Structure 1
C-alpha cells in the first residue's frame, strides 16, 4: 500500500510528456472523397493523429513542430489491403510448405510485413494464419520491435472437416491439431469464441471450396445455412465482422443471407447473388490480379495440376463477375490475396481493377475510404483528415490518371513517422 501511494505521488508530480507535433508537406495531395488534387498541402500531426489539414502559407505550423517534407510528390492516404496472408510465401506452395515448422512462417511474416508497408499498404486485414502468428506480428509491430502495417488479425480461418480450410495433403494416419476446423452450429460458435479469446479481430471462414486446397471442388458449398447463420451471429454478437471465402454460387448466396460483411473472391456469383449483395450492402473483396501470377509461376512454386486446373476454371470468370458486380452497384473493396502472389506487389491489382471497369479514383477509394468503412474503422484510417492516423504515402505523378504510379511508392508515413523515403 505504501509503495502504491509513493508511486501515485511521484506520478502526480511528474512533468507531463510533451506531445510530438509533426508538420507534413508535399507538392500535391489527393482528396480521395472528392477525387480532386490540391497543391501545396500541409498536414499537422499530434501524437500520430492528424489534427489539421490545410495549405502551406495559410495553415500555421505549430511552434516546435518537426518538419517532414515529402518533396515534389502527390500524397494520399496509406492504402488498405483487405485480404492478405503475411505468413505465407508463394514460392513455397503445395507440399513444399510442409517442410517448414510454424516458427518459420512467423519469422518470414516479419519480412513480409516490412515489404507490405514499404509498398504503401499501412493497414491490412490478415485473413488466416497458423499458430496465431498474425496476432504476434501485430503485437511486435505495435511495440516497435519490427516494422509493418496496422494488422486486423483473423488468426485461423474456420472451415469444415475436409474442406478448403482443412489440411488434406497428408496421409490418413497423420493426426494433428487443427484449431480452425469446426462442424455444426454449436461447433462453429465455440470456435468463434475461442478465436476471439486468442486475439482475432475479424472472423474468416470457408463457405466453399478453393483453388489452393487439395480434394475440394472450387465452387462446392461446405457449410450449411444453419452453420453459417450461427457463425455470423456469434461473431457479430462479439463485435467482430465476418469475411466468407466463397467462390461458388450457392455458397456466396448462403453467406450473404447469413449476414456476412464481406465475400472473399466471389468468383462465380450469379445475377441473383449480385442482387442479394447489393440489397444487403455486402462488400465483395475480389483478388482479380493473382490469376496472372498463379498460372505463370504456380507450377514452378509447387502447385499441383489440380490447383492449376481450378485456377483456370475460375480466373476469367472472377474478372467477369467483378465487372458485372461493379456495374450493378455492389460495394467493392481492395483485397489482393497477397501471399498467394508476392508481398509488396499488392498494388499490381489496381491496374486490373481499372482494366475491368473501375475508374482510377474508384480503385483508389476501394483501398482507402471504402476499405476503412468495410473494416468499421473509418474514424482511424482511409483519409487524410482530422482525427485519423497520419498514415500517408507519396507517389510521383497523378494516380487518378495512372494507377500504375501506386506500384512505385516513394515515401510512406505511418502515424506521423517516416517509414520509407527521404526527407
Structure 2
C-alpha cells in the first residue's frame, strides 16, 4: 500500500487534478454505524469540499518516512481515538447558567447586544469541547438573533468560530403559558415587550406563526405542548400561588388537537421538522399519529406508553443534564430522581431512538458532554451513547430532504461527485459518521473510552477538533 497522504483517492482522481487533502492517522477510530473502535485508520479529507474522501486501514509500512512534524497535510493522532464530531441536539446559545443569573433576569435585564456577544463566546466554547453541530431550540427572548448568529458561524471563512448551527428561532406557545410575566399587568404576555416565546391562539395564528418563522430562516419549529416544567413561569396558573400550592404545579395541556395539527402540518408542508417540549408524553405526539419528530425532556414518561415509544420512529432527547443541574438537592422523588428512573425504565423497555441534547445554556456551554456522562452513569452502554451523540444527532437534526432512500441517494452523490469547491452549504451535508461523502467534522480524545468514558469525552481530553475540513483545535489548543 502506498502512503495515503499522497495517493489517488476515489473522490478526487489523481493529485494532479489540483484537489488538496489532509490525512488524519488515527490510533483508533469510532465507527458510529457499527459502534466499534477500529484500530489504525487514516481519514482522507478534501480541503476544497470539507468532506471525507476516504477511510482506510494503515500499517507500519505506510507511516514509515512520513514527516508528521513538518507536513501540514498530515495529522498525527496515532496515540488518540478519533470520532465524528459530537452533536448537541438541544441547546440555548443565548442563555447562560441560571446559577449566575436567573432566566427571567437574563431576558429582562440583559440587552440583546449583551446576549448576542455572550452567544458568540458560548459558540466557541461549544466547538472547542468537540461539539461540531448543535440545534438551538429557541432564543428565549433574543428575537431573531439565532438566524444571524448562524450566518456568522457558517461557510469556509466564518466570521466567528462555532459549531454547525441549526436553529428554531422562537418556541411557539399559547397565551398566558410562558414568562416572563409582568407583576403589574396580569393580562400582559412578557415584560417590556420581551417574551420568552411566540404566543399564538387558534389554528389561524398557529399556521401564521409557523410560516413567519420558516420565512425568517428557521431550520426547525419548536412547540410547547405541555406546560409543566422545572421553571414556575412556564406554567399557566402561577397567579394561583398565593391561595393554592397544588394548582400552579399541575401539568396542563397547551394546544388543542386542531391547533397542534395545524402547527405540525404547516411545518411539514414547508419541509421543516417539529420538536415538542413535553414532560409527560401522549400517544398523539408520536409521528405515527400525526405527531412531532423529536420529543424534548419527557422526565415523566408514563410506563404504559413505553412500548409505543420503543416501536415509534420518534427521536427522544432526554435532556438529563438540565434536570441534574437545576435539581441541586437530588432528593428521592425529586425532579432528577424521576428523570433518572424514567431514563432507566425507557432503556429497559427498548427505547433506542435517542439523541444527546442536554438543554445546554441553563448549565455552562462547553460542558455539553455532561449528557453523555449521565447516560453512561445511568446504565446506557457507552457505545450506544457515542452513537446517539454522533450519528444519532444527525438523524435527529437532519431535514426531511435527507430522510429515507432520497437521503441515502444524496449521500452517495456527495461521495461520487467531484468536489473542486464548496458547492453545498453548512447545513446541507450529512454528518455524524466518518464515511465518504460525510462532513469532515472530526474530534479526537486522548482518554480511554472503554475504561473511563466520562474522562475521555470531557472537554479537557478533546485534543483535536475539525469542522468542515478546517482544523480549529490541535494538541489541545484552539487555533481560532
- TM-score normalised by the chain length of structure 2: 0.76
Alignment deviations for residues 222-281 of structure 1 (CA, whole Å, 9 cap, x no partner): 1112211111111111111111000134xx434224420111001111023323323331
In 1: Cα distance, 2:467 partner to 2:250 partner: 38
Deviation (angstroms), 1:346:
0.8
Contact preservation (8 Å) 2:327, 2:334: no
How far apart are the structure 2 equivalents of 1:89 and 1:254? 33
Residue number in structure 1 paired with 2:434? 384
SS at match of 1:27: strand
The answer to whether 1:344 aligns with 2:366 is yes
Match of 2:418 in 1: none
Provide closer, same or farther for how the CA distance between residues 87 and 25 of structure 1 changes in structure 2, counting only shifts above 3 A. same
Out of 29, 51, 54, the position equivalent to 1:52 is 54
- In structure 2, what is the equivalent of residue 132 of structure 1? 144
Secondary structure, counterpart of 1:80 in structure 2: strand
Secondary structure of 1:394's partner? Answer: strand
User: 1:410 pairs with 454, 457, 463, which one?
Assistant: 463
Q: Distance between the aligned counterparts of 1:383 and 1:189, measured in 2?
A: 36
Query: Could you tell me how far 1:189 is from its partner in structure 2?
Result: 1.1
**How far apart, in 1, do the equivalents of 2:354 and 2:376 lie?**
13
C-alpha change, 1:168 and 1:273, in structure 2 (3 Å) is farther
Of 237, 253, 259, 2:283 maps to 253
Residue matched to 1:8: none
In 1, the alpha carbon distance for the partners of 2:396 and 2:257 equals 23
* Structure 2 residue 202 is the aligned partner of structure 1 residue 180: no
More divergent stretch after superposition (178-187 vs 138-147)? 178-187
The match for 2:80 is 73
Q: 1:92 aligns with which of 84, 94, 101?
A: 101
What does residue 232 of structure 1 align with? 264
| CA–CA distance in structure 2, aligned partners of residues 40 and 189 of structure 1 | 52
Structure 1: how far apart are the matches of 2:221 and 2:378?
29
1:43 correspondence with 2:57: no
Aligned residues: 392
- 1:311-356 deviations in Å (ceiling 9; x for gaps): 9743221221111122222221111111011111110121211122
Q: What corresponds to 2:30 in structure 1?
A: 30
Q: Is the 8 A contact 1:218 1:248 kept in 2?
A: no
- Per-residue deviation, 1:83: 0.3
Of 345-354 and 145-154, more deviation after overlay is shown by: 345-354
Q: Is residue 24–residue 42 contact of structure 1 (8 Å, CA) maintained in 2?
A: yes
Output the CA distance in 2 between the equivalents of 1:218 and 1:289.
23
- Aligned equivalents of 1:320 and 1:282: distance in 2? 20
Q: Alpha carbons of 1:322 and 1:169: their partners in 2 closer, same or farther (altered >3 Å)?
A: farther
Following superposition, the deviation at residue 66 of structure 1 comes to: 1.7
Shift of 1:155: 0.6
Q: Does the Cα contact within 8 Å between 1:44 and 1:50 map onto a contact in 2? A: yes
1:335 counterpart residue number: 357
Q: Is the 8 A contact 1:360 1:402 kept in 2?
A: no
> Contact 1:35/1:400 (CA < 8 Å) preserved in 2?
no
Change (3 A) 1:184 1:23: same
1: CA distance between counterparts of 2:337 and 2:115?
31
CA contact (8 A) 2:40 2:78 kept: no
2:230 alignment partner, one of 188, 203, 211: 211
Paired residues of 2:116 and 2:145 also in contact (CA < 8 A)? yes
Contact persistence 2:42–2:56 (CA under 8 A): yes
| Separation (CA, whole Å) in 1 of partners of 2:464 and 2:234 | 44
Residue aligning to 1:321? 342
Task: Tell me if the contact between 1:28 and 1:40 (Cα under 8 Å) persists in the aligned partners.
Answer: yes
Alpha-carbon distance in structure 1 between the residues aligned to 2:20 and 2:148 = 27
CA-to-aligned-CA distance 1:16-50 (integer Å, 9 cap, x gap): 99543211112221212223222221111112100
Partner residue of 2:167 out of 150, 153, 156? 153
What does residue 296 of structure 1 align with?
A: 328
Runs (5+) with no aligned partner, structure 1: 1-15, 298-307
Give the direction of change, closer, same or farther, for the CA distance of 1:123–1:169 in structure 2 (3 Å limit).
farther
Q: Deviations over 1:163-202 (max 9, x none)?
A: 14x4325531656265721111221111011000111001
- What is the distance in 1 between the residues matched to 2:62 and 2:291? 45
- In structure 1, distance between residues paired with 2:382 and 2:250: 31
Secondary structure of 1:73's aligned partner: strand
Which residue matches 1:12? none
Distance 2:234 2:37 in 1: 50
C-alpha separation in 1, matches of 2:465 and 2:72: 19
Pairing 1:198–2:216 present: yes
User: Equivalent residue of 1:191, what SS?
Assistant: helix
SS at match of 1:72: strand
